Structure 1
Amino acid sequence: MALLEQPPSPGTRTAALDRVRAALPDLAPAERRVADRLLSDPARAIAMSISEFAELCEVAQPTVSRFCRNVGFPGYPALRLGVANDFAADGHQARESAPDTLSPLADRLRTDASMPNAARQLRLARWVEIWPAPELAGAGAVLAAGLAELSVPAACSAVPNHWPRRARGMPTGSVVVLLAYGNAEFGASAGLAAAREAGAQVVYLAAAPSRQLLKEADVTVPLPEGPSAELVGLLLADAMVEAVRQASNLAGPPGPVSPWRPWAQVQTLFLPYSPDPIPALHLRAPQSVRRDTLVVFYNGFRGNKEQALPPGVTGNRVSPNIVAALLNAGHDVLVPDAPGHGDRKRAWQDVAELHQASMAGQGPDLLKIARAESKAIVDAAFSLGLVASKDRLAVVGQSWGGMQTLFKLACDPRPACGAAIMPVCDVTQMSEFADLGDAARVATSGPSAKLAPQLAGRPLLVIAGAEDTITTPGHIADFVEALRPAYAASGASQHLRHVVLEDVGHEFDPRQVDAVLEWLDQYLAAA
């Protein structure tokens, strides 16, 4: 019987240790030895791998696995998570029962200036090794479980003799977290030297830190002193997981789709179009929340369709966060390559140079193609069975993809609504095309107020960032104001919404997702 299928969350219990105690009379002698070790020091046990714990119990690994099954868990990882869950729950209850004592400690951890830097290191790490001193072994295991929930690959080991071997197996880009309440001498450990040799970054968290480690660590976070090391450790685990959550830019409703791990329900499609089909990716929303709606999504400039896939490439955290949120909200997503992008250009061609030449009159008019293909993309969505009716079809894009949204919504009347995030409303605002203001193709095919008659009345959300220096709030505001008379004349002024987000540049912000999902809820029919 699988008692725990998900990582632990504060405030919930699995009663793992209670189940072990209840099973004691029925266990074989070797399994009883495993149970005794677990019950005598659960914090240390859950900070060990199965091989480390079997060695401590002086039994074979299969004995540990059999013990786990006999107490109701499918294996040792699930047992560790069960015990860690109880630690997290007990710590949560303790914090709730003594807020006057612990709240200041929790606030100090959450607001420490070094916490965001440490969280970024963990968020971007290819692997995280957590090496706690004995007094914080339980907190280390809870931290590892919380990071795993956020798709950060992490493991905890409280056996210093095993650290060198673990370090030698770490991939490039790993991080080692040294976790201590007192002045633990991690610096004397051969494991730390092996981690350095493997190129790992070191994050050091301690209440009474070693001076030597303060010099050697890449990132240090001070721990406050509290009523007990265990409670401070659990406060730390909570604060660090929350900081990593913030660094993950998660947005939208919770769900199985994460911008930080691959999503399996992806299919490559080629949408019929002349002279060449349009390459696209179709992502299906989780079955439990599917709404039988489809959002056609476009990336920013230079972005190919794959950059919208969870997990996104380093440096492009906008599209994967938006797409993951759309999927968790129940919307299927279709991501075509824009003209001159991805598989719609030769591998050696530079996107900027290709568009510069096109706008200057050389080769195909890529802006004109972006308009002309709108009908073909909607036709393909229907003919391939991706969506059943136009009232369940929307278009969303960010930056250059926001411009694609304007084109698609203006050039085909069937999508029910659209949302343009940080859209390019004037291509000459981009530095690559600043000197092309007099180009004929820019005037005739580029985005401008000439789209107003086609867009008038169509539900359109336009989102700008107050600190955006690329698609500036001023040039977006000018475009929106040029549309307003046409919307007013059509009797649908409420269908045009302009949102400016304070303190946001040309970057991802969860408020973008909130606004888009609200817009889609308003204008897309649900199954």
Structure 2
Amino acid sequence: MIGTPEDGERGGSTLVARIRAMLDGLRQAERRVAELVVEHPHDVASAPIAQVAAHAGVSEPTVIRFCRTMGYEGFQQFKLELTRSLAAGVPFVFEGVRPDETTADLTAKVIDRSIATLVQVRNHLNPNQLDQAIGYLAAASRIEFYGHGASGMVAMDAQHKFFRLGIPTVAYTDAHVHGMSASILPADAVVVAISHTGRSAELLDSADLARDAGARVIAITAAGSPLAEHADLTLFADVREDTDVYTPMTSRMAHLAIVDVLSVGVALRRGPELLSKLERTKGRLREKRLAR
């Protein structure tokens, strides 16, 4: 029976936090299901679909549509992921650094926050969406990475990883340049747009231009952000960021980790021929290093 409200985020569930962030963008009926999940995550994880539909005041097909909106094939897959997220989530105790912080405490807080961030990203990334993104990238004739500021650094790191996979690849951090490039992309190209907030107007414009040209757009951003609405596929990186003292760190780490997953997945997808090319590249690099 679905009972008293409980805070799913307090239980360490990043899936619940993602659903909460997406509430405003959901259709009215699906939002009722989402609100039920946010208020009673453990009960929903153990309830049959008929009971969930009844308590949300919607039909069973609406529950299934909500699950598919969240990126799952159906209710059972969503429940499995919700259960896993509730069980495996790491409670995130946010502790900001203070001006009088000792070096030891500063080190512990920064590294602990980084560890928690990576575990959160691991727990809520959707395998189906990752697999689809890897498929898009592996088949692309060209890959372009767009990002500004700290996300621009992630875009350049992604370009450094992907160009070695034998795919024409470029990173653009200037809004004028990626806007021009997006408008002339071939239809079999893929754009990866990276943004923690997903609210950069220039990035949204370039995503739209790329889609108008026929290219696919993969967004790495927060759930419920405008960028997620302008992409063909979104990989969610929902992390808490503290920009009061330093430039964004946790979101950058989350984005870098997702890029690493994508690059390894594409390398495996492209098969043994790519592995032999990578070995030749490594051999060339070894020639440039000093002997031990």
TM-score (norm 2): 0.47
Larger Rg: 1
If each structure's strand is expressed as a fraction of its own residues, which one has the higher value? Answer: 1
TM-score (norm 1): 0.28
Q: Larger relative CO (CA 8 A, sep 6+): 1 or 2?
A: 2
